[in-house]
Chain A
Amino acid sequence: MRWTPALAIPAAIVCTVPGKATVYLTTEQAQRTIFPGATFTSTARPGVFRTSNGGYLVIDQVVGKHENITYAVGINPNGTVKQIEILQYNESYGYEVRNASWRAQFVGKSAASPLQLNGDIKNISGATLSSKHITDGVKRILNMYETSLKGAR
């Protein structure tokens, strides 16, 4: 284990960046990841795909207090959840960069402008963020499955 603390104590607001977007998977990649080898048919509902093995893949979006998340839920032919993957995670309120040493680490990277760092903030430690709104979203999708997707061909 080696830890090198940042020397400067964060003190001043340096700039504000519009928002951080991290793209993990495209819809096609999510399809291949959750149902490898399957083929997909669009349904009348946008973001809802039927798989060749009788399951479903649903793309949905939830808005949290500080974030906006696109995610995919794979539903097995028996109606159980196969897998959930985050496709895109946006911190919708943007962030403030308050530390010159923080900026220094990006010098020489692209245009070295903090305004171009969207998606580049990684390895964030902090008090745990709740994913309850995703859990609620999945419940909503399973309800939709039970009431209108199940058995539909």
Chain B
Amino acid sequence: MRRQRPLLGTFVEIDAEGLPGHELEHAVDAAFAAVALVGRLMSFHDADSDLSAINRVAAVAPVAVHPWTARVISRALALHRATDGLFDCAIASELVRWKLLPDHGPVTQPATMAAVRLLPDNHVAFDTPLILDLGGIAKGFAVDRAVAALRRHGIRAAVVNAGGDLRAIGPAVPIHLRDPVDPTAFHCAGMLQNGAIATSSAAATLTRFGAGQVSALVRARTCRPIIDCDAYSVIAGTCMVADALTKVLAQLRQPDAPCFGCLGAVGFITQPLATPQQTTALRAQ
């Protein structure tokens, strides 16, 4: 059974098999429900989300959040430390300034995730005012929760794909890579068994801002946008780790950097096959 729903601002596809029709439908429904819940909790765009509540209040007083939100923040902090600060969910203030994310309030000075504290009983506090965006990790987490829901219902073979961040369980499946510049072209990347792959590219969000260009991929150390047209892919055991590490690979450009091996991940970079004209047109946008 293959189903697709618009969730998390993108298209989420679930392909699952191995159960009788009605039970399969029930399992796929539960998996979509898990993705939808992650969206409601961690959407930057939704003013009613846990994340928006944190961004409004956590600098003043601890905010109680859903256990899933706390779990994502906990893993984001661990990844922040494991990557020497290159994975950082606090770069959102730049994305707001560049109008790549909506402005829900005063834009703060750039800060790092080191100022985020996870307190007992799923409470979150900020040591300094900052804006957190879980966009670099929550989609992967949602895929992992969908896979967990499918497994709980007895499914042993499935692929969950949230707009390009995907996880497969069961037999090996061929993975195709969308060209970073020409979205109508695909490359064969390889075969994946029981693992996850995520891909990020600045090309997808390149926009003009002031006299220059910006993108949603940001260098944590300098707060400058990454302006290139390569695709950064990471394979890992969970989609959350794969999703987060694509942002690290985009900054390091070194798939053999120790942080990937330490987290059980493999990274690779794909250059666009688009014609020079297409690349020039994209850069001129």
Where the two chains meet, the residues of A that have a C-beta atom closer than 8 Å to any C-beta of B are 1-6, 10, 22, 24-25, 33, 65-66, 71, 83-86, 89, 91, 93-99, 101-102, 105, 121-132, 134-135
B3 touches A24 (CB 8 A): yes
B11 touches A1 (CB 8 A): no
- The bracket for how many chain B residues form the interface is 35 or more
A123 touches B168 (CB 8 A): yes
Closest to A138 in B: B6
- Which B128-178 residues sit within 8 Å CB-CB of chain A? 139, 159, 161, 163-166, 168, 172-178
B184 touches A93 (CB 8 A): yes
With A129-B10, A131-B9 given, is the CB distance from A124 to B161 under 8 Å?
yes
Check B31 for interface membership: any CB of A closer than 8 A: no
With A95-B185, A126-B180, A128-B163 given, is the CB distance from A25 to B3 under 8 Å?
yes
A69 smallest CB distance to B (angstroms)? 8
Q: Considering the chains assembled together, what is the distance between the CA atoms of A10 and B178 in angstroms?
A: 12
B231 touches A1 (CB 8 A): no
Contacts of A83 in B (CB 8 A): 5
Closest to B175 in A: A123
Where the two chains meet, the residues of B that have a C-beta atom closer than 8 Å to any C-beta of A are 2-7, 9-11, 15, 25, 139, 159, 161, 163-166, 168, 172-180, 182-201, 203-205, 231, 233, 235-237, 264, 266, 268, 273
Partner of A127, one of B25, B187, B199: B199
With A125-B177, A126-B231 given, is the CB distance from A89 to B9 under 8 Å?
no
Q: How many A-B residue pairs have CB under 8 A?
A: 165
B164 touches A130 (CB 8 A): no
A121 touches B176 (CB 8 A): yes
A20 smallest CB distance to B (angstroms)? 9
A45 smallest CB distance to B (angstroms)? 22
With A24-B4, A86-B5 given, is the CB distance from A127 to B200 under 8 Å?
yes
B191 smallest CB distance to A (angstroms)? 4
B277 smallest CB distance to A (angstroms)? 15
